Amino acid sequence: MYREESQLPTIFYEYIDKIQNNLWFKFIRLLGMNDAEIQNITRNNSGLTEWKYQTLERWKTLLGHQTDAEYRQILEKTCNEIQRHQQSDVNLPPHLQNGVEISRKIYHFIDKHNGEQWKRLVHVRFNLPPSDISLLEQTYAEDFLELKYQTVLKYATFHGKTRSELPHYLEGIQPVMATDS
């Protein structure tokens, strides 16, 4: 019996090329990878392309067996969600879907606050120590979206909130006006 060879490596490299570097973290979170998984891969691999490939390999393991067409469909729908800012209808297993929903809500909150409004929000509402803010800004200087995401996670930790509590907690944060200081 003939078995067709998987094209998954080619498919993965297609999306590695397709997704901008500054959107990669968002992409893999919306595929269902959690921050601990991402950090493990970050620490254990060198080279950006290799790291991205390893994140997709790990995601494949977390997702479970699918056909190449099913993997491609999930990757494409998630890519479209990022590029078009419209939620996709990807159905992931529950152990991944919960993380995706939380990440979507965090990114939705982040997307509502840009530039100076974000800076005021961090300084006025988050009440993080200046040293923590400075360290985050240094660490994520090249990736503003990831800086914002990590700042929200630091805010949660600093205020004793779990990641799953965070979306509800973020809903209660009042907007910052230009006159607030």
Q: What burial class does residue 171 get, using C-beta atoms within 10 Å of its C-beta: 0-12 exposed, 13-18 middle, 19+ buried?
A: exposed
Residue 131 has pLDDT above 70, yes or no: yes
What confidence score (pLDDT) does residue 43 get? 61
Average pLDDT over residues 118-130: 86
Phi-psi region of 27 (alpha: psi -120 to 50; beta: other; left: phi over 0): alpha
- For the full predicted model, state whether its pTM sits above 0.85: no
What confidence score (pLDDT) does residue 180 get? 55
